Amino acid sequence: MTLSRIGYDVDGPVATITLRRPEVANALDSATIDELDGALDRADGDEAVRVLVLAAEGKHFCSGHDLKELMDGSDPWADMRTTAEGKLRHEQVMYFDRCVRLRDFRKPTIAAVQGACSAAGLMLACMCDLIVAADDARFSNPVLRMSGAAVELLVEPWEMGPRKAKEFLLCARTLTAAEAERYGMVNRVVPREQLAAAARAMADEVALVPPITAQAVKGSINAMVDRMGQRDSWRHHFMVHQFVSNTETALGLMRERTAGGMDHVKREQAGETP
């Protein structure tokens, strides 16, 4: 697969996938998600790779779904999304399944987060086993104010507990890196200029664990949260998300955004507006 939206590099036991759409704050369009999935195939098939780092170019880690693509119907899945059934299939494959695949990836994963980490970007980061955040990182999910039921996977209750998750979502809070670390969402906070080095240092620490051991322990911890209901709760929320997204309230706001023009969407995508 030819890569145009992400970078893929291997250095010793560490593979680094880098989101490379800084002009739209690394928003996730269908092509980017496809390339990310292909990179996971490469990392999975390379037995020399023991740890995967997910990073991003530019000021922001990821601002979420590519709203421009979703609103103007320019992606290859556009025809499928013209019906509720097509939309469900699109989001099941591209967002739910692809994210859960990263969460279940057999090798340990580390997200290196800077700047905005919002909505689907937050969902993506939380699929990784560990998160290193720059001190300028900001975590948010303001989708409820846009009439959406958060995003496809409701990660927040599992990351910060139910009460803080309700406040975070219902009040559209933005967490600083320090707050995210305090709530348990982030493992480590470092100065922005040290982010890449800190993520690599953590990856090198993890790489000292024999692969079979790392895979087994990661699998056991994932099995624990699954038995606590994580996977089932995500499936439940995915259907809730589909229902809310197809209400007249949500569809009406989407039409208003489209009528308002793409300049506003681009500014929003780049983190210039709430």
pTM above 0.85, yes or no: yes
Q: Is a pLDDT exceeding 60 seen at residue 78?
A: no
DSSP state, residue 209: S
pLDDT at position 85 is 63
DSSP state, residue 94: I
Which residue stretches of the chain are H helix? 30-45, 67-72, 84-91, 98-104, 120-126, 156-160, 162-170, 177-183, 195-207, 211-227, 230-245, 248-259, 262-269
Tracing tokens 């880098």 back to the chain, one arrives at 18
Q: Is residue 202 part of a domain?
A: yes
Q: Is a pLDDT exceeding 80 seen at residue 77?
A: no
CATH number for position 85:
3.90.226.10
Quote the domain boundaries for residue 51. 6-269
How many domains does the chain fold into?
1
pLDDT at position 84 is 59
Q: Is residue 1 part of a domain?
A: no
Tell me the mean pLDDT in the region 263-269: 49
| Six token digits for residue 67 | 């709203």
Q: Is a pLDDT exceeding 80 seen at residue 170?
A: yes
